[in-house]
């Protein structure tokens, strides 16, 4: 067994234009001061990180890791959640997702996708230069508008959507394979990869590519009413990244899983700060440890009630207290008997 690494923190929800959140050095000092030892970096945020430079300059990467090391921090993973989303966009979402891309490719879906693919290729090279083993992203979605269809979707529609998704991602998976880095898709509503069944379908289209792996976030399973502990049993061999995020689901007589188009604070299913929701993190950390997960435990803060700085301050000790230092011996070793083969055979009555 391995000891889970952490606590780490995903910087995306905290980055801003005001100090200390407007540069990697200052936000790193802030995070380290709260007790974090790892940072997951949003690769699209130029205030914190230059993705193209990291992909092409070992000097830049060495300076970056050295700067963080001086603060007592490591990079856990790079994230291309926004760019990964743009690998596959249904036309219904073109306008909304254009905001994730630079002005030059907005309104041009093919050019926008080419830009996103280049971003992913740079992320593979940057991860390699930074010595990272895993990368966090989204799969994008072509079939999501047909998730609960009326009228019924025609036969073959979902199959074709996943075949196309596989065609788009296979060259990028190969690029990450060349870099020696796992792509970890966050299993997330709004993505074509939103549960175990869809992840399996995707694996089929990419021929069980060894670099196609999972970013495990139990909060999204609470909102879908999926068993997040049994998910680990099924897919632990593919879980290579972990967002520690809490959630709760309290259905009432007015709305349920779909949320009724209400604001987050009014939905039955909503994200909460760590310890304020319903996720059984003791069971999750125990199960991941037993299944030999040795990656990072990274706070992703999303809460409709609590201030982010309070959530971040509470998150580091919460994660640290849940990390299990794995034992190197069995609790009953003191009562162990002889290991002489002859003694063992006598004990079995076959000596």
Does the CA dihedral 105-108-110-113 come out positive or negative? positive
Q: Report the C-alpha dihedral over residues 219, 220, 223, 224, rounded to 10 degrees.
A: -140
10-residue averages of pLDDT along the chain (351 residues)? 97 97 98 98 98 98 98 98 98 97 98 98 98 98 95 96 98 98 98 98 98 98 98 98 98 96 97 98 98 98 97 98 89 74 88 69
Please give the Cα distance from 214 to 228 (Å, whole number). 13
pTM (predicted TM-score): 0.95
Query: What sections of 180-247 are H helices per DSSP?
Result: 196-205, 218-224, 228-235
Q: What are residue 230's DSSP bridge partners? A: none
Domain count along the chain: 1
246-249 and 38-42 beta bridge pairing: unpaired
16-55 pLDDT, tens digit per residue, is 999 999 999 999 999 999 999 999 999 999 999 999 999 9
Strand partners, 249: 269
Backbone φ and ψ for 181, nearest 5 degrees, come out as -130, 140
We report the CATH number of the domain holding residue 186 as: 3.20.20.150
Residue where the block lists tokens 């030059």 = 104
> In whole angstroms, what is the distance from residue 249 CA to residue 269 CA?
4
pLDDT tens-digit map of 297-323: 999 999 999 999 999 999 999 999 999
Q: Report pLDDT digits (tens) over 83-111.
A: 999 999 999 999 999 999 999 999 999 99
203 and 212 in contact (C-beta within 8 Å)? yes
In 3D space, the residue among 196, 209, 125 whose CA is nearest the CA of residue 167 turns out to be 209
Boundaries of domain holding 84: 5-347
Determine which helix (DSSP H) or strand (DSSP E) holds 137, and give its type and residue range: strand 134-137
In angstroms, the CA 346 to CA 351 distance is 4
Torsion sign over Cα 246, 16, 78, 264: positive
Q: How much is the pLDDT for 338?
A: 62
Predicted pLDDT of residue 346: 86
DSSP string, 33-72: HHT--EEEEETT-TTT--HHHHHH-HHHHHHHHHHHHHTT
CB 242 within 8 A of CB 295: yes
């Amino acid at each position: 067994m391995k000891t889970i690494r952490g606590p780490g923190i995903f910087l995306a929800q905290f980055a801003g234009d005001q100090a200390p959140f407007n540069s990697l050095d200052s936000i790193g000092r802030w995070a380290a001061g709260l007790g974090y030892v790892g940072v997951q970096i949003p690769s699209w945020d130029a205030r914190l990180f230059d993705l193209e430079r990291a992909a092409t300059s070992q000097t830049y990467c060495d300076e970056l890791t050295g700067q963080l090391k001086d603060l007592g921090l490591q990079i856990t993973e790079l994230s291309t959640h926004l760019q990964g989303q743009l690998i596959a966009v249904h036309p219904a979402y073109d306008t909304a997702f254009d905001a994730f891309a630079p002005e030059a490719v907005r309104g041009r879906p093919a050019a926008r996708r080419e830009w996103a693919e280049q971003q992913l290729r740079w992320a593979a090279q940057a991860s390699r230069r930074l010595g990272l083993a895993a990368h966090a992203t989204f799969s994008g979605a072509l079939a999501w508008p047909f998730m609960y269809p009326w009228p019924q979707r025609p036969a073959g529609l979902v199959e074709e959507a996943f075949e196309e998704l596989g065609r788009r991602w296979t060259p990028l998976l190969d690029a990450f394979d060349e870099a020696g880095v796992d792509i970890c898709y966050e299993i997330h509503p709004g993505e074509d990869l939103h549960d175990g069944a869809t992840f399996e379908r995707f694996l089929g289209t990419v021929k069980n590519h060894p670099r196609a792996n999972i970013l495990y976030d139990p909060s999204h399973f609470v909102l879908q009413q999926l068993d997040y502990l049994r998910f680990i049993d099924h897919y632990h061999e593919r879980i290579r990244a972990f967002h520690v995020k809490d959630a709760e689901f309290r259905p009432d007589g007015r709305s349920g899983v779909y949320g009724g188009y209400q604001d987050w604070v009014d939905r039955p299913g909503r994200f909460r700060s760590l310890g304020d929701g319903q996720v059984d993190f003791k069971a999750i950390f125990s199960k991941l440890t037993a299944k030999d997960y040795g990656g990072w435990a990274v706070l992703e803060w999303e809460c409709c009630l609590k201030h982010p700085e309070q959530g971040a301050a509470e998150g580091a000790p919460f994660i640290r207290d849940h990390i299990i230092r794995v034992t190197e011996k069995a609790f009953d070793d003191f009562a162990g008997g002889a290991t002489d083969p002859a003694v063992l055979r006598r004990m079995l009555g076959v000596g």
